[in-house]
Amino acid sequence: MKHKLIYADNAATTKLSALALEAMLPYLKEEFGNASQPYISSRSSKRALKESRIIIANCIGALPDEIFFTSCGTESDNWAIYGALIQQLPIVTSSIEHHAILRPCEYAANRGNKVTLLPVSSTGLVDMKILSRNLQEDCGLVSIMFANNEIGTIQSINDLANETHKKGWIFHSDAVQAVGHIPIDVHKLGVDLLSASAHKFNGPKGIGFLYIKKGLKWPSLILGGSQEKGHRAGTENIAAIVGMATALQENVDSIDHNSRHLKMLETRLLEGLRLLDVYYHRNGDNNHLFGNISLSFPFQTGEALLHRMDLLGISISTGAACNSETTQISHVLNAIGLDKTLANGTIRISLGKENTLEDVDIIISTIKKILSK
């Protein structure tokens, strides 16, 4: 391996921002006070908690009181589904959601909740008419992800939320892949609940949030102390919350610049492969997360490609990070109806803002080298 290690799995996780780390350090060292306590030693933590909530709310067009800190995107998603389960609301979701939604939905279904999985188009889009037809009851929860982690497809969240509201239902979006990468204004979008996770936008791991629209009463998932106004118990991880707020602000401030950079890298990668006569099928919709590139190579195995790329110093994925221990075709590729010979040979390259043209050129020549053998 002559080049430096190339990390191209940013949909799985991202590098912690240097600014975020710097902002976190005081709360891991001297400012360790419990934000719930009334004394002077806790003032700094309490202030940091308040300021971080304001920063995060501003970044997504929410009110500070609408942000509830959680331990990760999975917890935020579980909370959204759990709320519907406890209220015995029917749930309508899509067949390409992350397992953080699908597993709790299975749990809800096993407990007698009505759960409907909507099909998607060959590019991964939910059809508005199909959604509408499935909103039969007076009220329920619709949960549709903002951007898919495996193929990058971005849904028309605003239209889907409007349709959901027309039927009197509540709308949740798993925006774990979107927050910090696509401009988001929750009030304009009209979502009632929205999940996010810091480590997908250069924040620390183990921290996320759930946006809950003001006025919506949503049952708590984690019970205990009175943190988060009694809605999510547990002593707050102030350092992680500060890191999340700093990383989100940094990413939101450079969202246009980052998008342009990723689009340029993505175009280079696809054109580079084409110029070298490497045949591939690109998965996902035209409206997709820039840098999230799902490629299928006929009669190959994604697993073997991943390991050979790894041996040559490039970290990519075969699909969802959570699927890395199984060699089954992912539920997302099944749901878009991808032919088996293509699905088996699928890899996901997810470029991040730190990737360079040089990285992309090495990825192109490495793929060519592996496929030529």
Binding stretches for ligand PLP (CB under 6 A): 72-74, 77, 98, 100, 145, 149, 174, 176-177, 197, 208, 321
Is 139 an active-site residue? no
Minimum CB distance to ligand PLP, residue 146 (Å): 8
- Structure-token pair, residue 311: 């041996």
**Is residue 305 within a helix (H) or strand (E), and if so which, with residue range?**
helix 302-311
- Between residues 76 and 366, which has the closer beta carbon with respect to ligand PLP? 76
Minimum CB distance to ligand PLP, residue 208 (Å): 5
- Between residues 200 and 364, which has the closer beta carbon with respect to ligand PLP? 200
User: 3-class DSSP state for residue 108?
Assistant: helix
- Between residues 45 and 149, which has the closer beta carbon with respect to ligand PLP? 149
CA atoms within 13 A on the CB side of 328: 7
Question: Which of these, 35, 4, 14, lies nearest to 239 by C-alpha position?
Answer: 35
Distances (CA, A) of 198 to 12, 159, 205, 209: 12, 26, 6, 8
Minimum CB distance to ligand PLP, residue 210 (Å): 12
Q: Which residue's entry shows tokens 């490495």?
A: 366
DSSP codes, 313-346: TEE-BSS-GGGTT--SPPHHHHHTT--HHHHTTE
Minimum CB distance to ligand PLP, residue 75 (Å): 7
- Between residues 73 and 272, which has the closer beta carbon with respect to ligand PLP? 73
Minimum CB distance to ligand PLP, residue 365 (Å): 29
Q: How far apart are CA 191 and CA 211, in angstroms?
A: 9
Q: How far apart are CA 313 and CA 1, in angstroms?
A: 6
- Between residues 33 and 204, which has the closer beta carbon with respect to ligand PLP? 204
User: 3-class DSSP state for residue 227?
Assistant: coil
For 21, phi then psi, to 5°, come to: -60, -45
Question: Which of these, 251, 250, 241, 247, lies nearest to 47 by C-alpha position?
Answer: 241
The residue with its CB nearest to ligand PLP is 73
Question: Which of these, 120, 124, 130, 73, lies nearest to 99 by C-alpha position?
Answer: 73
- Between residues 72 and 252, which has the closer beta carbon with respect to ligand PLP? 72
Minimum CB distance to ligand PLP, residue 308 (Å): 24
**Which residues are part of the catalytic machinery?**
322
